[in-house]
């Protein structure tokens, strides 16, 4: 019976690590969306740079889980718009805009949400299976 409980705990620990990782990913995506229209504070300066979460495998309860290791800046080029009246415009009248594509961010958010929900289902299923197994063993 201890082995059953240990397997269920390990399963839930792995799913919990994924929940934390996806929660962090959603936070980064929300930050990207919130700053999609931000411009630089100074003329000719760089605007907000899109952030990308980086994950790594990690040991949890003797199984392999996941954690968000860090957040790296996306090194893709900024977009540029002609807006000479903008305080962030350079000498030629162009303003650098963030390298954030809100459509890509929305799709990433949906993927993170689905992964989060899938891991919640894993936890619920593991709990249910453990409870049913214990009920069978009691009889």
- CA dist 57 and 71 (Å) reads 15
Name all contacts of 59-65 with Cβ < 8 Å and 24+ positions apart.
Answer: 60/10, 60/13, 60/14, 60/16, 60/17, 61/6, 61/9, 61/10, 61/13, 61/14, 62/10, 63/10, 63/11, 63/13, 63/14, 64/14, 65/13, 65/14, 65/16, 65/17, 65/18
Model's pTM, two decimal places?
0.85
- Provide the number of structural domains found in the chain: 1
Residue 50 has what pLDDT? Answer: 98
Closest to 74 measured CA to CA, from 118, 130, 36: 36
Q: pLDDT by residue (tens digit) across 37-70?
A: 999 988 888 999 999 999 999 999 889 999 999 9
Q: What is the pLDDT of residue 2?
A: 53
Separation CA 101–CA 63 (nearest Å) = 36
Cα–Cα distance for residue pair 26/33, rounded to 1 Å: 10
Domain encompassing residue 34: 2-138
Cα separation, 137 vs 115, whole angstroms:
33
Distance separating alpha carbons of residues 49 and 52, to the nearest angstrom: 10
Distance CA(22)–CA(14), nearest Å, equals 13
Give per-residue pLDDT as tens, 100-130.
999 999 999 999 999 999 999 999 998 888 8
pLDDT on residue 35: 97
């Amino acid at each position: 019976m201890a082995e059953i409980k240990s397997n269920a705990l390990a399963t839930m620990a792995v799913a919990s690590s994924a929940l934390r990782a996806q929660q962090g990913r959603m936070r980064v995506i929300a930050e990207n969306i919130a700053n999609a229209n931000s411009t630089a504070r100074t003329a000719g300066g760089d605007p907000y740079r899109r952030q990308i979460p980086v994950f790594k495998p990690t040991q949890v309860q003797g199984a392999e889980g996941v954690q968000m290791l860090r957040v790296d800046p996306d090194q893709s080029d900024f977009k540029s718009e002609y807006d000479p009246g903008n305080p962030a415009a350079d000498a030629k009248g162009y303003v650098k805009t963030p390298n954030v594509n809100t459509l890509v961010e929305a799709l990433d958010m949906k993927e993170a949400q689905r992964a989060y929900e899938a891991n919640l289902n894993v936890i619920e299923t593991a709990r249910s299976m453990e409870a049913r197994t214990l009920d069978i063993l009691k009889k």
